[in-house]
Amino acid sequence: MSQESFGDGDLRNTGMRLKHDREWDYELDRIVDAVCQRDAETVGLQFPEGLKRRGPKVVDDLRDRLGEDVTVMLSGQPCYGACDLDTYLMRRTDVFVHFGHSPMKESEKIIYVPLFSNVEVTPIIEEALETLEPPTETPDLGLVTTAQHMNRYGEMREFLEEQGYAVHSRRGDDRLTHEGQVLGCNYASADLPVDQVLYVGGGKFHPLGLAMEHPEKHVVIADPVNNVVTVADTEKFLKQRYGAVHRAMDAETWGVIFCTKIGQGRWEEAQEILASNDDAYLITLDEITPDRLRNFDVDAYVNTGCPRITTDDGPQFHKPMLTPGEYRIAIGEKPLDSLSFDTFHGTW
């Protein structure tokens, strides 16, 4: 049995060394049909970072079927999640295809191609049984997964029920498309009356967010992509957050980041901070990167955009970056032990 404890707080580049070859169904028929129906002259394709290298081959396949009158374009904008919709390309193409993420909100303009994984999930869940508390002691079990494995959610549930678990699940909120689905910024599907949750999916990015959001639950990770079972360990991650909060306590000036991406704008949160702090300055941008903030002369940042930029990429920025909740701790408005994970609810 391959069991190891990561728990090192480094959530970047996980799931990159794959143990399984994965094949994807790009649903070319559905795209070609849409092009014909709309008499489209331009088609825009947007892939997540990990699949951008497949882009030219998918363009080749579409060109073969569509002929020379249709121009197919690839989005070069960064794409890490459903928020990263390339609205520029979407508005300027007759058919726009977003691969690999489920929609936060349906739009007639956009074709969402989910790219379900073809990796088997039962073998790794079987391994995870040794790490889960047994159904005889703790029968209630929450079950969550990511968009890539949603196509096998029923199979996961059935297998676990056969082992004797009472499997709990819910859809979460409007931000989530499917029952049992988690996003990097939303774990409402794990708001369940259970003490342990099984996460089935690749990488540590999602389950560590889940464990931060639900610190009272035992979170077991069954990763069918890297073929490992682990327990989510938030200790190092939490130390980083407390470290950032403490470093920001002496800050005299604050940059309040408002992210202009679809699904990330928390305008009222930003306005509240500005209204109560004369030394806070509103900074608007789309991609939040260390390079882009380097030239601003402020002592610390509070990021009202994607919480995963703050928590996962935070140490790469030249000044401490906090979530809105952490900001309130740093300025003394809230006690230190109120530190919690920053999540997003609602849609764009």
Give the residue, chosen from 71, 107, 131, 196, that forms a contact with its own copies under the rule CB under 8 A. 71
Radius of gyration of the chain from Cα atoms? 21
Spatial separation of the C-alpha atoms in residues 33 and 37, rounded to whole Å? 6
Residue bearing tokens 């970047």: 12
What does the alpha-carbon distance between residue 49 and residue 273 come to, in Å, rounded to a whole number?
33
What's the CA gap between 121 and 151, in Å, rounded? 11
Nearer to its own copies, 122 or 271 (CB): 271
CA distance linking residue 96 with residue 80, whole number of Å: 17
The single residue among 77, 151, 240, 340 that binds its own copies, judged by CB under 8 A, is 77
- Which residue's CB is nearer to its own copies, number 3 or number 260? 260
How far is it, in rounded angstroms, from Cα 165 to Cα 158? 10
Q: Does 34 bind its own copies (CB under 8 A)?
A: no
Establish if 324 lies at the interface with its own copies (CB under 8 A). Answer: no
Task: Output the six-digit token pair for 32.
Answer: 């070609």
Question: Half-sphere exposure of residue 290, counting CA atoms within 13 Å on the CB side?
Answer: 9
Which uninterrupted H or E stretch holds 300?
strand 300-303
User: Tokens 């494995």 correspond to what residue?
Assistant: 149
Question: For residue 230, what are the β-bridge partners?
Answer: 221
Of 209 and 324, which CB lies nearer to its own copies in the complex structure? 324
**Residues in contact with its own copies, total (CB under 8 A)?**
43
Q: Rule CB under 8 A: is residue 15 a binding residue for its own copies? A: no
CA 79 to chain centre: 11
- Work out which of 258, 317, 327, 341 binds its own copies, going by CB under 8 A: 258
Residue pair 260/246 in contact (Cβ under 8 Å)? The answer is no
Q: Any bridge partners for residue 105, and if so which?
A: none
Which residue's CB is nearer to its own copies, number 52 or number 334?
52
- Of 212, 216, 231, 290, which Cα lies nearest the Cα of 255? 290
Q: Taking the complex as a whole, how short is the minimal distance between the CB of residue 335 and its own copies, in angstroms? A: 29
Task: Point out which span in 152-160, 203-211, 219-227, 257-265 binds its own copies (CB under 8 A).
Answer: 257-265
Nearer to its own copies, 126 or 286 (CB): 286
Interface with its own copies, residue 283, by CB under 8 A: yes
Site of tokens 């890297």: 226
Q: Which among 191, 163, 166 is positioned nearest to 176, based on CA atoms?
A: 191
**Binding residues among 288-307 for its own copies as defined by CB under 8 A:** 288, 291-293, 295-298
**Residue closer to its own copies, measured from CB, 284 or 338:** 284
Stretch that binds its own copies, among 120-128, 215-223, 285-293, 323-331 (CB under 8 A): 285-293
Considering only 4-12, 104-112, 153-161, 274-282, which stretch makes contact with its own copies by CB under 8 A? 274-282
CB of 343 to its own copies, least distance (A): 23
CA atoms within 13 A on the CB side of 110: 23
52 near its own copies (CB under 8 A): yes
| CB 341 to its own copies: min, Å | 24
When binding is defined by CB under 8 A, the residue of 25, 29, 49, 130 that contacts its own copies is 49
Which residues in this chain contact its own copies in the complex, by CB under 8 A?
44, 49-50, 52-56, 59, 63, 71-78, 86, 88-89, 253, 257-258, 260, 271, 274, 278, 281-288, 291-293, 295-298
